[in-house]
Amino acid sequence: MKLCTVGLGYIGLPTSIMFAKHGVEVLGVDINSDVIKSLNKGLIHIEEPGLQEALTEVVGTGKFKAASQPEVSDVFIVSVPTPNKDDAHKSCDLTYVLSATSTIIPYLEKGNTIIVESTIAPRSMDDYVKPLIEDAGYTIGEDVFLVHCPERVLPGQIMHELIYNNRIVGGVTNNCTEAGAKVYETFVQGEIVKTDAKTAEMSKLMENTFRDVNIALANELTKVCTELDINSLDVIQMANKHPRVNLHTPGPGVGGHCLAVDPYFIVAKAPETAQMINMARTINTSMPDFVVENVDKLLKGVNGKKVTVFGLAYKGDVDDVRESPAMEIYQSLKNNDEYEINAYDPHVKEDFALSNIEEATANSDLILVLTDHSEFKKLDFNSLNKMKNKIIFDTKNVVQNRSEEFNYINFGNLHD
């Protein structure tokens, strides 16, 4: 089998490499020439455990190559971003999906399978992608097979989850579903669940929406508990002792290119009806302000407030800052004249992110932990001895060791 993937980002690259590791001849296509050069030299451009080793292997065997243009193949996989549009309900912007699909049309041959892995609004395959292929003169389900197979892997565990997660294969027709399922049998060891395209689209969106709504519940609980002087983290621990309760973990907001983006795709399609989904988004996007308000309270009366943000990535042990609430909080404090802000993140490569902890915390009044990086679990308090006021506000409840010299605050002991 020869496979051409379009989009070599957080999902497209690991997927391409996984197929190549399983004997498929893969051509990865991207519009970024630096990415192509780097990959062909055997160097990854994103942080993901196990990915570098896997790329080294498949570049070595010659099974994976990167290029700027597609080639004739048996299977095409589209894995490009689907941002929110800048409209009233932040609907799904299909521009990249449709242009990526258009770039493969000149290389299409009868019998080919086209798979869209990007997360897309319900009915996108039927209403937008299918007409594009039909306009090129192909009959879907007879000449070419069109499938939505949403990616569902967790950043940080992608190489494992690609193999062991269940996979939803939603064809535009039944023949399409069968053709799509065959492609993933190459390496998927989870169940391959066959359905139609619109059910696959909605299932994927509901997975991330489920998580977003549950995180909103935990975040709202924290706000209510702060008003009532109750430890929300203890409440979550207690309630979760019930066999049918699984409260999620509160935090400084919900980031990444999935949970903070996808629920709007549903809301935009049914704005009057999708009320809870919309409310969850409102609660989660209010969390950065809640954190900043509490930093203000903790440093009330301090002159020349200096805060060191620990973590800019949207979650622990990744370098991805897309939709990161930590970035929003950093910017908000930075824009406030009363504050001097440093940022420390051992994973993120932004220019302003310091990688030396002593330099980042010198003369600081407060460490604001916004990301659950492994490096923050055990703090080396000796490296923090140049701090002025020794306060740690840990919004992710990640720091596990304590020093009597430090005032440690998390979402469980905030006061109104």
User: Least separation, in Å, of the C-beta of 142 and ligand SAJ?
Assistant: 32
What whole-number distance in Å separates Cα of residue 72 and Cα of residue 266?
A: 35
Around Cβ 267, how many Cβ atoms within 10 Å? Answer: 23
Paired tokens of 217: 């519940």
**Which residue is catalytic, options 258, 269, 390, 396?**
258
41 annotated active-site:
no
347 binding ligand SAJ? (CB under 6 A): no
- Count of chain residues binding ligand SAJ (CB under 6 A): 20
Q: Nearest distance from residue 81's CB to ligand SAJ, in Å? A: 11
Closest to 202 measured CA to CA, from 125, 271, 285: 125
- Can residue 153 be called a binding residue for ligand SAJ (CB under 6 A)? yes
Restricting to residues 44-63, name those near ligand SAJ by CB under 6 A: none
Could you tell me the smallest distance in angstroms from the CB atom of residue 186 to ligand SAJ?
Answer: 19
Which of 15, 82, 119, 173 touches ligand SAJ (CB under 6 A)? 119
Shortest spacing between CB 250 and ligand SAJ, in angstroms:
7
Report the alpha-carbon distance of residue 113 to residue 95 in Å, rounded.
21
Cα 352 to Cα 42, 95, 152, 256, 360, distances in angstroms: 28, 32, 32, 20, 11
Contact region for ligand SAJ (CB under 6 A) — 102-110, 133-141, 250-258, 406-414?
250-258
Of 254, 266, 329, 360, the one binding ligand SAJ (CB under 6 A) is 254
Q: Does position 154 bind ligand SAJ by CB under 6 A?
A: yes
Q: How many CA atoms lie within 13 A of 350 on its CB side?
A: 19
Least Å from the CB of residue 112 to ligand SAJ: 26
According to the binding rule CB under 6 A, does residue 239 interact with ligand SAJ? no
Residue nearer to ligand SAJ on the CB measure, 43 or 154: 154
167 lines the binding site for ligand SAJ (CB under 6 A)? no
Residue 344: its H or E element: strand 339-344
Using the rule CB under 6 A, is 152 a contact of ligand SAJ? yes
Secondary structure (3-state) at 194: strand
Distance CA 392, CA 232 (A): 18
* Residue 74 is a binding residue for ligand SAJ (CB under 6 A): no
3-state secondary structure 213-233: HHHHHHHHHHHHHHHHCCCHH
Site track 256-275 with ligand SAJ (rule: CB under 6 A), x = hit = x-xx----------------
What sections of 305-350 are H helices per DSSP?
A: 325-334
368-405: burial string, b at 16+ Cβ within 10 Å, e else? bbbbbbebbeebebeebeebeebbbbbbbbbbeeeeee
Contact flag: residue 148 with ligand SAJ (CB under 6 A): no
Return the residue of 21, 65, 223, 248 that touches ligand SAJ, per CB under 6 A. Answer: 248
Check binding of 314 to ligand SAJ (CB under 6 A): yes
Please give the residue whose beta carbon sits closest to ligand SAJ in the complex. Answer: 258
The SS3 call for residue 12 is helix
To the query of whether residue 258 is one of the catalytic residues in this protein, the response is: yes
Binding-site ranges for ligand SAJ (CB under 6 A): 119, 151-155, 207-208, 211, 215, 248-249, 251, 254-256, 258-259, 314-315
Catalytic residues: 204, 258
